Amino acid sequence: MPALQQMTNYHTHSTYCDGKASPREMVDFAVAHGFTALGFSGHSPLPFENTYSITDYDGYCREVRALQKEYQDRIAISLGLEFDYVPGMLEDFSPLIEQGHLDYTIGSVHLIPVPGTTPRDGNDLWMIDGPHYERYDEGLNRLFGGDIRAGVRAYFHQQNAMLERNRPTILGHPDKIAMHNRSRYFKEDEPWYEELALETLALAHELDIIVEVNTRGIYKGRHPDYYPSRRLIKAMQQWRIPVIVSTDAHAPEDLLRTEGAYEYLAAIHYPEVLYTIR
């Protein structure tokens, strides 16, 4: 059990997107394990067929709001979305924020078009997430001609554009691009890579955006580090960027998988660790 004052999680999925459990099952598990706050952040609806984003947005908002009310004496539930920022496809978060009267937003990049092109559907997008690295390799080769630096640059620049345009409450897994790299195309200490990553984190600092410390790669056995990596977290200390630990839970038991993140942040004396969002 982590040594912490409060158990909270603001990066939570459910069966409304690609999670394994209903919102109520997630809440019941959280309450049973002493959580004081739980934020839902389903994958934002996207305008093309895919396996992971919300299709019934109104139903999602209605159900989380109903649970918020029903459980108000036991746990602070909030309604959010994990926005998928995609240039030419989903650039402006405000219509969905207004439609759902959202309490907060996570801004994430999973899908990358070639800069300057207008994507029509998933075929025009480099999918950098998901369980299989073969798909990452395929998209990199097909859309970026295998040029990893061009692909990585597009990823970080897309995040920068997202932060500037939408100022999400939380920046989601800012270096997830490294997951399926599996140390093959680049090493994370290469200066060109580190420069791009730090540019995004400096921008988060400038815009006063919380950065999550996402533990999912570790407990899914897909990546040996948090997103952002320990190396980047150490660099973030200079700006005192507020961080919040996220399990990116897709099933109830994921909520407990903080993977030593609180202990790590305490050990390096990280100055701004949040448990709840402002």
Contact residues: Zn ion, CB under 5 A: 82, 108, 248
Contacts 24+ apart (CB under 8 A), 92-99: 92/165, 92/166, 93/44, 93/166, 93/168, 94/166, 96/44, 96/45, 96/57, 99/57, 99/58, 99/61
**Least Cβ distance, residue 104 to Zn ion (angstroms):** 14
- For residue 265, what are the CA distances in angstroms to 113, 213, 226? 34, 10, 11
**Least Cβ distance, residue 267 to Zn ion (angstroms):** 26
H or E stretch at 36: strand 35-43
Instruction: Output 52 or 71, the one with its CB closest to Zn ion.
Output: 52
Instruction: Output 82 or 103, the one with its CB closest to Zn ion.
Output: 82
**Least Cβ distance, residue 84 to Zn ion (angstroms):** 8
Q: Measured between alpha carbons, how far is 202 from 10 in angstroms, rounded to an integer?
A: 22
- Based on the number of CB atoms within 10 Å of its own CB, is 92 exposed (0-12), middle (13-18) or buried (19 or more)? exposed
Instruction: Output 82 or 175, the one with its CB closest to Zn ion.
Output: 82
Angle formed by the axes of helices 148-166 and 191-206, nearest 10°: 0
Instruction: Output 9 or 68, the one with its CB closest to Zn ion.
Output: 9
**Least Cβ distance, residue 12 to Zn ion (angstroms):** 8
**Least Cβ distance, residue 271 to Zn ion (angstroms):** 26
Instruction: Output 14 or 160, the one with its CB closest to Zn ion.
Output: 14
